[in-house]
Amino acid sequence: MIERVEKILGKKGNLIEKEIERVIPKEDIPNLNDAVWYHMGTGGKRIRPVLAIMTCEALGGDTRRILPFAAACEILHNWLLVHDDIEDGDRIRRDQPAVWVKYGIDHGINVGDYMSEKVYEFVINSDLDDSKKIRLIKEILDTSVKTAEGQTMDMNLRKNDNPSENDYMRMIEGKTSYYLTLPMVGGAIVSEKPELVDKIRKFGMKVGPAFQIADDLLDLTAGKGRGETGSDIREGKRSIMVVHCSSRCNEEERKKLFKILNKARDKTTREDILSVKTLFEKHGSIEYAKEKAKSLIEESKRITSGMPSELKEILDQFAEYLVERKK
């Protein structure tokens, strides 16, 4: 499954680069264009634009017509990462210095701002009819607002020493689900299958949290391209493992858990991270997270069961890939 999807990502992802360069030239203003392409060149799987392309194609749409929107989804994803690194204090992104580290925090903020506006240019300059452009821009706008709300909930939750699973699920639905769902919704709109949008959105509201939980798990094992494992613990994030563990450990363990999570990032030691991981293992929180992600994927498959067969196959494959991937 992993190899099959990564082959698709490699093949379809290559279609995006030229589309992005058409709107954002590689050479123009120093500390802007080069910074955008530095960030884009650090890697990334191009999952979101490929989802847009594959959804459109599965529904009989024209690949050429979805490319501008697919590129917009990739730039949306990446400007959010540029700003996310600043907000979280992450110095490494995809095993390379983050944009704000390489170019300075002032340029880092501006690069993200620039990319966020370019998102709309892809759609406006496409050859889609005006009604589709307006619909896609509305979807991008709603997604951007929901993602910002989710990011705020994430930062707020880091100050909460009594987080609930409902708090966590609401946060990741906002932070992750909407902009993972956006490409598929756009694929349905461009292929003139708007009647599928509601089902696709329901699918995304299951797959998005599963993806984020898998990401939380990766942070403890392979890392997320940030140069180390345990970055989420250093940032004090209330992952689903924190939520689960804090509801099951004794008072002494609970105090220890939140004392570590509430430390300044640069004061959190490797021993602290191992201590938190040991608590997770002791109370079955890692296994709980794995089962939660699997359960969400099973729920997503019940939703795709009523979709056209080709679309169902593509979405089910990507859903499984998002939780089985190793990096």
**Domain map of the chain by residue range?**
2-324
Q: How far apart are CA 188 and CA 178, in angstroms?
A: 15
Residue 44 has what pLDDT?
87
The DSSP output letter for 265 is G
The reported pTM is: 0.93
Residue 20 has what pLDDT?
95
Strand duo 96-97 + 92-93: pairing: antiparallel
Mean pLDDT in each 10-residue stretch from start to end of the chain (327 residues)?
A: 77 88 95 98 92 96 96 97 94 94 98 98 97 98 97 96 96 95 98 97 97 93 68 95 97 97 94 96 97 97 96 95 82
Beta bridge partners of 219: none
Q: 2-324 adopts what CATH topology?
A: Farnesyl Diphosphate Synthase (1.10.600)
Q: What CA–CA distances, in Å, run from 96 to 40, 87, 99, 208, 297?
A: 11, 17, 9, 26, 31
What does the angle CA 54 – CA 129 – CA 178 come to, to the nearest 5 degrees?
45
Residue 224 has what pLDDT?
58
8 Å CB contact between 227 and 92: yes
Q: How many C-beta atoms surround the C-beta of residue 306 within 10 A?
A: 9
Residue 10 has what pLDDT?
84
Q: Residue 261: which of 248, 279, 286, 284 has the closest Cα? A: 279
Crossing angle for the helix pair 105-124 and 63-88, to the nearest 10 degrees: 160
Q: What CA–CA distances, in Å, run from 32 to 85, 161, 191?
A: 17, 40, 34
The set of residues, in sequence order, having a beta carbon less than 8 Å from that of 229 and lying 6+ positions away, is 219, 220, 221, 222, 223, 273
Tokens of 326: 């190793």
